[in-house]
Amino acid sequence: MSRPHPVRRPAKGPGGPARCLRHLAASALGVLALTAGLLAAGPPATAASLTQVTGFGSNPGNLSMYAYVPDALPTGAPLVLALHGCTQSAGDYHAHSGWATLADRYGFAVVYPQTNATNNANSCFNWFEAGDSARGRGEALSIKQMADKAVEQYGSDPGRVHITGLSAGGGMTANMLAAYPDVFAGGAIASGLPARCAETLTAAYTCMYSPPDRTPAQWGDLVRSAAPADTTSWPRVAIWQGTADTTVRPPSATELRDQWTNVWGIGQTPSRTRSLTGGTTATTYDDPTGRPAVEVYSVSGMAHGLAVDPGGGAEQCGATGTYYLDTICSSYHTARFWGLDGDGGESPDGPPAPARPAVTATTDTTVSLTWEAVAEAASYHVHRDGTRVGTTAATHYTDTGLAPGTTHGYTVAAVDPAGTVGSPSAAVTATTTGSPPTCHTASNYAHTVAGRAYVSGGHTYAAGSGQPMGLWNTFTVHTLLETSPGHYLIADSGCPA
């Protein structure tokens, strides 16, 4: 990466090579300049080619649009937007990142937004400028317009649009995910920054070299404030970071993890961790249904750049070059995380979903389940209403401690011997027998008159449980929950529906 440079508009112009940050101490402005080599050998031979697309909208960010569309791409295929780093170009990123190979293999279109030296002296996306990174403004709006154009022109599935980026492109990717969660189903941030980490030049440097140690809630609030107010569905996010990166420091990955797990409301405790090639550790954070929502890929010893792994193997892709580092094919693993390989993105490396889950029995307080065995499974996770309630090695499970007359949804996911959780099963619904619990809010006097409480020594106690309720009078008010006939508990903090 190179030193920040001033933002200029509106004329277009090509980007030029940039020197490393340490050689540009006297430069004025700009950010995340990422030196790139010349175009390397392209993707495998195909009639498809990288093509510039014009007329994609008002283009307030003064960007260019390039697209790679495999031959005979069917309607309804996914779409990936891939953002280059500083001093790079759409063609450079197309040639090195591996996305063309994966597009041919799995069948999806790739759009490469391209900025220029007129916008930023080092051809960086202006992730640190509020006027370029907020919803409906500047470069962010231009990128969104490219997604709209591709969906229209190539017949892409609007529900399977994804975005990824390296370095400054990664910083812009995070901002796009925050500003347009209604557009993107998933994102991948490679050597990038948290969403809305900076809106000034000084803050940009802080984010790169010493990212602010905000709480997960503070990071999450930055995303929520950038998104439409009624947002309830969020993109699934992959985070790639080298442990030896001295340009965007490794703590950035932790802050990104905190930000997006908080947005998902799933906490920062990993669901599982696994080892991949290239010294890579993948840490997964599942959503309440057991599907991966956030994954962090930490590449041991890797400096600043995009992880690639040239070769013809099933998990290999990309070409090495300046800031394209031979470790592991990040694009391949990202594509699998998103489900572009046809697995639905529910678990890129786990066992298949258990078949034929069924409810076999219910009582007032229990639900019993069965399902078919999965050959790769060492155990199974059982989820009730999106929360894991048990783990078993058997193909049956009884959920206990439920309230009478209540309805719950269940899914089951297989876990392999390495601890990788597979896709969740189809959901089944069960309702416990008996009458649902009821709540009553009244004064202590009224509770005793109704038989829900009794009086002893001038004090009131809940019937059945004997919980103390205070003085017997008409001024003290409590909510009582009837858990079984004649048995009441104090439920002042909230009564179940």
Q: Are strands 109-114 and 64-68 parallel, antiparallel or unpaired?
A: antiparallel
Judged against a pLDDT cut of 80, whether residue 484 lies above it is answered with no
Does 291 or 360 have the greater pLDDT score?
360
- Rounded to an integer, the average pLDDT of 228-246 is 95
Query: Where is average pLDDT lowest: 48-62, 193-207, 387-401, 483-497?
Result: 483-497
Q: C-alpha 217: how far from its chain's center?
A: 16
Overall average pLDDT of the 359-379 stretch: 93
For the stretch 26-29, contacts whose Cβ atoms lie closer than 8 Å and that sit 24 or more positions apart, written own/partner, are 27/2, 27/3, 27/121, 28/4, 29/4, 29/5, 29/121, 29/201
Alpha-carbon 153 to chain mean position = 27
pLDDT for position 346: 41
**By mean pLDDT, which of 99-108, 154-163, 271-280, 335-344 is the weakest?**
335-344
pLDDT class for 434, splitting at 50, 70, 90? confident
Q: What is the mean pLDDT of the chain?
A: 87
Whether residue 25 has pLDDT greater than 90: no
pLDDT in tens, 150-173: 999 999 999 999 999 999 999 999
- Encoded tokens for 86: 């500083």
pLDDT-derived band at 264, boundaries 50, 70, 90: very high
* Rg for the chain, CA atoms, rounded: 27
The three-state secondary structure class of 334 is helix
- Rounded Cα distance, 490 and 446, in Å: 15
Give the Cα separation of 52 and 48 in Å (integer). 13
pLDDT band at 6 (very low <50, low <70, confident <90, very high): very low
Q: How far is CA 461 from CA 335, 437, 483, in A?
A: 60, 19, 16
Beta pairing, strands 272-276 & 280-286 = antiparallel
Quickly state the pLDDT bin for 47 (edges 50, 70, 90): low
Query: What stretch of H or E contains 370?
Result: strand 367-370
Which range, of 175-189, 218-232, 308-322, 385-399, averages the lowest pLDDT? 385-399
167 catalytic, yes or no? yes
Out of 64, 123, 142, 167, pick the active-site residue: 167
Total-model pTM: 0.67
Q: Which two tokens stand for residue 130?
A: 């509020």
pLDDT at 34: 36
pLDDT of residue 349: 58
| Spatial distance between the Cα atoms of 110 and 94, rounded to a whole number of angstroms | 9
Taken in order 206, 208, 211, 216, is the CA torsion positive or negative? positive
Q: Give pLDDT, residue 140.
A: 98
